[in-house]
Structure 1
Amino acid sequence: MKLFKCSNCGQLVYFENTHCEHCQSLLGFNADDLQMTSILRAEDTFWMSKGNSGIRYRYCANHEYGVCNWLVPAESESPFCKACALNRTIPNLSKPEYIQHWRVIEFAKHRLIYSLLRMKLPLISKAEDAEKGLCFDFVADGHSVSNERILTGHSNGLITLNIAEADDIIREQTRKLMDEMYRTVLGHFRHEIGHYYWERLINNSADLDAFRQLFGDERADYGAALRIHYSKGPSEEWRAHYISSYASVHPWEDWAESWAHYMHIVDTLETAYSFGFSVDPRGIQTAAPLRTEIKADPYRVKDFDHIMQLWLPLTFTMNSISRSMGLQDLYPFIINQRVQEKLTFIHNIINKNGHSSYMMVGSQDLLML
């Protein structure tokens, strides 16, 4: 993600900030220009941008719960911003711990939507298009009469997230139980949105045959593939072909895992680019070039090979710093040649489809579970 600054005083601020620590101005994120805007209260109770006094805004309705700092044009019929308008079900707000979980979830989801807006991918709610749209359910175990366990996943544009994933302890326990190297709320969103865009961009498209050549035939029995994976485990050779062991389950999961890693790479490189990051190891000579200067916005780079030339030095640096803090590697993955071919395919698909205008819905009824 890029750097943001207060438009009143120029102080650097985080994406989630609601006010500037330096000048105390109120802040809101404007999804139309992807900028953080300092705002003033107007006499008619709407909010007005300091940078452009001719445009009036108000906060998203979810701002009152401390889960959103995005702005909505004053004339909008929707009380929700472009990210929150995608919610179909939110946690039960009568439970304080659920509000905290929701805050963690929304912070991650807003970062996801920021990236999709930067990619300029088609983004539309199910309230606008029931067949091709996107929506989110954030629910807890036992919310229904059947007391069923909620599984995080995607189905026909509906992304469901068990809010227990926002609990650091529970998520870490699950990560160890599932023998995963990495598990975050943002990672979940990036994986599940990959499933959504497979349906939107690959299924029944001219690129389906090329997808099958790289990822395999998705017509293979998905349920049987899952049963084999969880009963026998992954093949010992999975590292030669996949970014993760779970990617080896089925072509759909290979695509979603690869898509998530593509988003990890581009978003992290954008951050490094915004900071003017460079790597110049002192007194070290290796076969792999580790000297680089990140001068390009990755969202604008057409050649994925160039992105990879930046990624290796950056991840080696990040992991070295993480180990210096006594922590696990920040990026504990190896991108082999086969995985790089898959990431290149995804990069080209996004560039091919990333110029569609996005549409969002107006107000909608929310379920609280």
Structure 2
Amino acid sequence: MYRFFEQLGARIAVRFVSQPQRPDRVWQCQCGQSVFFRNSQCLACQSALGYWPPSNRVASLSPGPAEGLWLLDGEPEAGPLRRCANLDTPAACNWLLADHEPDSLCLACRLNRTIPDLSIIDNHLRWRKLETAKRRLTAQLLHLGLPVEPKGEEGGPGLAFDFIGVDLDGKAPVTGHANGLITLDVREADDDWRERVRVQLHEPYRTLLGHLRHEVGHYYWDRLIAGSHWLDGFRDLFGDERESYGQALERHYQQGAPSDWAAAHVSAYATMHPWEDWAETWAHYLHMTDALDTALALGMSASSLELDFPPFTCEDLYRPDDPGAKDFLAFINAWVELSAMLNELSRSMGQVDFYPFVLPSAVVAKLHFIHLRMADCQLAPVA
């Protein structure tokens, strides 16, 4: 976590000025063609490509010492690698795994407990979209130094995903998290259905990746906060999670969010319960770090913007005297600049705002709390 954030901070310090080195979000095939996170084959020279999680890069592959084995361009020390068995399925997974691993599936695909019913033709595209979002989430979690481990058949503290649809009785699954199992209705992969729900619920933002980032926030609350010495700090900022979740849910859907919710929450839904406040804020932290990291890697510049609001200061943070406070402030203020620029770009295309949210000081303190807890990635005891 610290290594990633130190690198991010160093790049923020030069105010989005393009770097002479190759961006770490755009890689090169052996032929020189630019390739990206999702690519499994170079469109220029048709070379096989793969994503190698330990070095967080996509690179060309050359045939290895035996059939089905590959060598990663520029990383001979990685040894013989295998491509994920889901490469040639609708999931189209481009991840790699070491030859000595006993599984045929990569880490991201091993997180699946249930995949969509592929006898339904529409589920082929849905599964591809779901896996694309989940791989990006998984890569980010690994890059941040967070523990990512599949849940075993006997349960345990790991992570698992159920991607399921309407059952034979016409009952739709409930998207949510329970003890490391994240369930997602496969219809969320249908743009028209997801947009209708977004409008019905008056949400400014609803995406597959957003769903996954939110739900995994619940999982990491269990792993990082529950039973740890961070729990008191959580309650000071987010509220007491011992409040009845069922009653809070009923109250939220009957009465809606308080009229002043924007003064202390990142979204209206975050007011529902302290657990939801955490998950919403966690998701935004992942949105912000990933988008800012990508923007910096691509050399985007927002240095000429004249913002009409003052930057956040150390007094807005959870721990103003933390040694890394200035670096975190640079990150937050850089995000404000970048999101303002990207919102204007979206408007110029007649699209909704790229980031339709405002960050009050209370949310910045919550984001700082999450940042500090993520940096101190010692797991809480498992109940």
TM range (shorter): 0.7 to 0.9
Post-superposition Cα deviations, 1:128-178, rounded to whole Å, max 9, x if no partner, equal: 7722111111000115xx543201100000001110000000000010111
Equivalent residue, structure 2, for 1:137: 162
Post-superposition Cα deviations, 1:165-209, rounded to whole Å, max 9, x if no partner, equal: 000000000101111000000000000000000000000100000
CA shift at 1:47, angstroms?
Answer: 2.3
Task: Give ranges in structure 2 of 5+ residues lacking alignment.
Answer: 1-22, 313-323
Q: Which moved more, 1:334-343 or 1:52-61?
A: 52-61
Query: Which structure's relative contact order is higher, taking Cα pairs within 8 Å and 6+ residues apart?
Result: 1
Equivalent residue, structure 1, for 2:185: 162
User: Partners in 1 of 2:63 and 2:362 — Cα distance?
Assistant: 54
Post-superposition Cα deviations, 1:285-341, rounded to whole Å, max 9, x if no partner, equal: 745469xxxxxxxxxx77321211101110000000000001110000000000111
Q: What is the RMSD of the two structures over their aligned residues, measured on CA atoms?
A: 2.0
The residue type equivalent to 1:6 in the other structure is Q
The answer (yes or no) to whether the contact 1:6–1:20 under 8 Å persists in 2 is: no
Equivalent residue, structure 2, for 1:298: none
User: Partners in 2 of 1:242 and 1:130 — Cα distance?
Assistant: 34
The residue type equivalent to 1:110 in the other structure is R
- Count, aligned residues: 342
Equivalent residue, structure 2, for 1:312: 336
- Aligned residue for 2:86, secondary structure, equals helix
- Aligned residue for 1:61, secondary structure, equals coil
Q: Does 1:51 align with 2:84?
A: no
User: Partners in 1 of 2:59 and 2:299 — Cα distance?
Assistant: 23
Residue pairs, 1:245-324, within 5 angstroms: 245-281=268-304, 284=306, 286-288=308-310, 303-324=327-348
- Aligned residue for 1:37, secondary structure, equals strand
Pick aligned residue for 1:10 from 32, 42, 58: 32
Q: Does 1:330 align with 2:339?
A: no
- Aligned residue for 2:107, secondary structure, equals coil
Pick aligned residue for 1:200 from 202, 205, 223: 223
Pick aligned residue for 1:120 from 131, 145, 151: 145
User: Partners in 2 of 1:66 and 1:47 — Cα distance?
Assistant: 22
Pick aligned residue for 2:198 from 169, 175, 187: 175
User: Partners in 2 of 1:129 and 1:322 — Cα distance?
Assistant: 47
The answer (yes or no) to whether the contact 1:105–1:185 under 8 Å persists in 2 is: yes
Post-superposition Cα deviations, 1:250-277, rounded to whole Å, max 9, x if no partner, equal: 0000000000000000000100111122
User: Partners in 2 of 1:170 and 1:243 — Cα distance?
Assistant: 24
- Aligned residue for 1:25, secondary structure, equals coil
Q: Does 1:94 align with 2:119?
A: yes
Give structure 1 regions of 4+ aligned residues with deviation exceeding 3 angstroms. 284-290
Residue pairs, 1:334-345, within 5 angstroms: 334-345=358-369
Equivalent residue, structure 1, for 2:104: 79
User: Partners in 1 of 2:69 and 2:368 — Cα distance?
Assistant: 45
User: Partners in 2 of 1:94 and 1:56 — Cα distance?
Assistant: 35
Against the structure 1 CA distance between its residues 287 and 100, is the aligned structure 2 distance closer, same or farther, given a 3 Å change threshold? Answer: closer
TM-score normalized by the length of structure 1: 0.88
Post-superposition Cα deviations, 1:92-148, rounded to whole Å, max 9, x if no partner, equal: 1222210110000000000000110011112211117722111111000115xx543
TM-score normalized by the length of structure 2: 0.85
Against the structure 1 CA distance between its residues 286 and 215, is the aligned structure 2 distance closer, same or farther, given a 3 Å change threshold? Answer: closer
Q: Percent identity?
A: 44
User: Partners in 1 of 2:153 and 2:33 — Cα distance?
Assistant: 38
Equivalent residue, structure 2, for 1:109: 134
Equivalent residue, structure 1, for 2:207: 184
Q: Does 1:25 align with 2:58?
A: no
User: Partners in 1 of 2:345 and 2:87 — Cα distance?
Assistant: 35
Pick aligned residue for 2:253 from 230, 234, 241: 230
